[in-house]
Structure formats: structure tokens, C-alpha cells
Amino acid sequence: MKINENIKGNEIKVTAKVTGKRQITIPKEICEMLGIDTGDKVIFVEKNNKIIFRKEIDKMICPICDGTGDIEEIECFFCKGKKEIPLRYNSTLYYLINIVMNDARKYNIAITVINQQINEDNSVVILDKPKIIVNSSNISDEKIKEINLKLQELI
């Protein structure tokens, strides 16, 4: 079977039989396309009355270094040079605090977390989501601004 023969519009349609144990064999071409290997887990999701399946990923590409493992030729403080981070760190704030507690000196980074601000009338307002500001003398100001924007998008 060739995937190209089964493309209609933006959908790929292939069939598979369900065994007596309700098991389905995923065609080799689909596995290759999705990067599914023997032993991998897949997730089934219902969306708009359709069942979608995908490979379960327990890691994601580091959003700070974009999977390069470094920032301006310095090991990335977010992924520690590993190019990926565990998905269990889906709370960026928790992950950053963890880094600061354990590795701030190693990476020469400082972090500020702001969860409130003072208005012009001197009243205190709690922010909808905290603001994270990272700084380092080892990284250019331009790159720090970019990193801070990425971090804020992740919260």
C-alpha cells in the first residue's frame, strides 16, 4: 500500500481489521509517517466526532533553544543541553523555579517572577498569569528579550 494512493483532499484513508481481542495493526507506512516504533504508546483522542490517534510523546523539543541544546554557544539552561524537556514539566513556572533552585549558579541566570503590579493609583493588582523575567550576563540582551517572550508564551 502506498500512502499517496489513499490521500483524498487533506485526509489519508487506510483500513485495518480489528482482531477478536480488539487489536488493530497499524500499517507500516502510517507508523513510518508518524515515527511509531514497536513498543511505543499511542493516544486516541475524540475531536469533532472523529477519533484521532498519535504517538504518545513524553518529551518535547526545548522551546528556549529550539532543540539546538545551546544559546549563543552556551549550554541551554532550560534543557541543560539535552535539546528536549520532559512533558511532565508542562508548568513552565514550576520548571523554571526548579532550575533556579538547582542550577542557577551553574548557568549564571537570575529569574524574577512577578504575580502582581502596582497601578498608578497605588492599588495592587494580581496578574492573570505571572510574568517571568530571566537575565544572564552570559547571554546578549537581544537573546534575553527573545527568551523572556518565549517563556511568557509558555505560561
> What per-residue confidence (pLDDT) applies to 91?
62
Determine the pLDDT at residue 9.
Answer: 62
Looking at the fold, whether 64 and 126 belong to one and the same domain comes out as yes
Containing structural domain, residue 142? 59-154
pLDDT, residue 7, reads 57
Mean predicted lDDT score pLDDT of the chain:
83
Are 41 and 69 in a shared domain? no
- 75 and 120 part of one domain: yes
- Grid cell digits, residue 137: 550576563
Tell me which long-range contacts 86-89 makes (C-beta under 8 A, separation of at least 24).
86/58, 86/59, 87/57, 87/58, 87/59, 87/60, 88/58
Do residues 90 and 148 share a domain?
Answer: yes
Q: Are residues 81 and 94 in the same domain?
A: yes
Task: Name the domain count of the chain.
Answer: 2
Residue 70: its pLDDT value, please?
Answer: 95
Q: What is the 3-state secondary structure (H, E, C) of the chain?
A: CCHHHHEECCEECCCCCECCCCCECCCHHHHHHHCCCCCCCEEEEEECCEEEEEECCCEEECCCCCCCCEECCEECCCCCCCCEEECCCCCHHHHHHHHHHHHHHHHCCEEEEEEEEECCCCCEEEEEEEEEEEECCCCCHHHHHHHHHHHHHHC
Task: Find the CATH number of the domain harbouring 27.
Answer: 2.10.260.10
Q: pLDDT tens-digit profile of 83-142?
A: 988 776 656 667 777 776 777 788 898 888 899 999 999 999 999 888 888 899 999 999
One domain for residues 41 and 114: no
